[in-house]
Amino acid sequence: MDERRRLVVWWLLKYVLLGPLLRLWCRPSVEGEENIPERGGALVASNHLSMVDSFYLPLVLRRRIAFMAKREYFTQKGFIGWCKKQFFTAVGQVPIDRSSGLAARAALDTGNRLLGEGRLVGIYPEGTRSPDGRLYKGKTGVARMALESEVPVIPVAMFGTERVHPAGARMWRPYKVRIKIGEPIDFSRYYGMANDRFIQRSITDEIMYALMELTGQEYRDVYAAKVKEDLETAKKSAARPPAPLSSGKAS
């Protein structure tokens, strides 16, 4: 899909087809939109409560935003999968592969290219949805992009989206969505130090602190992906039948 066609489809979806339905369903409100620059590249770093975060933030912003979306959103089979792929492509979502270090570097390069083109790029620093509504440790990719592209980072808080589409639910539920946009964070004092791991961690932690203050979420200094992995392991262990008792006699 070429860029002109993407713009046409995006405009139709946002203002004619899907946007009015989303507004009616969840009555989204936004606070602080003046903190989004009218032009030029910027990173929009949001907490992540639900898949619908990637629907409602683009809906309320005047500027088009490209989200770094996991590749699985684009590879589902069947008619529903095709529809998802067309939608995410049209609204500017960019598929990324998170399976290896090389894939992560390719994702960063894609983000930097979009920022270099003067685009808004959305990113979820936690790397995955929160498993329990708390805010988790951020991954340093957000810091690397901010430093390599030399752009500000704008923290964004999503509220209510986990009630619209809880994890595992098939259908969306009506619930008011609120979005709060914080003031841009300037990291120009660190430009030229993108490869310094200490700087990457410090910047990422500063972004997560800004999100914590903006959202009011409880913060946990552990990766959400690790928590999900531990929960899944515990679930499988609980479902596993107990080992049979030995019937052998003692000698």
Is 75 inside any structural domain? Answer: yes
Is 251 inside any structural domain? Answer: no
Inform me whether the pLDDT recorded for 158 exceeds 50. yes
Average confidence (pLDDT) over 80-107: 69
Number of domains in the chain: 1
Is 245 inside any structural domain? Answer: no
Residue 47 — pLDDT band, cuts 50, 70, 90?
very high
Is 92 inside any structural domain? Answer: yes
Inform me whether the pLDDT recorded for 251 exceeds 50. no
Average confidence (pLDDT) over 153-174: 94
Is 9 inside any structural domain? Answer: yes
Is 246 inside any structural domain? Answer: no
Tens digit of pLDDT for each residue in 65-82? 988 776 766 777 776 667
Inform me whether the pLDDT recorded for 153 exceeds 60. yes
Is 250 inside any structural domain? Answer: no
**pTM for the structure as a whole:** 0.87
Pairing of strands 120-123, 65-70: parallel
Query: Tell me, what CATH number does 110's domain have?
Result: 3.40.1130.10
Is 192 inside any structural domain? Answer: yes
Residue 18: domain span:
3-164+173-236
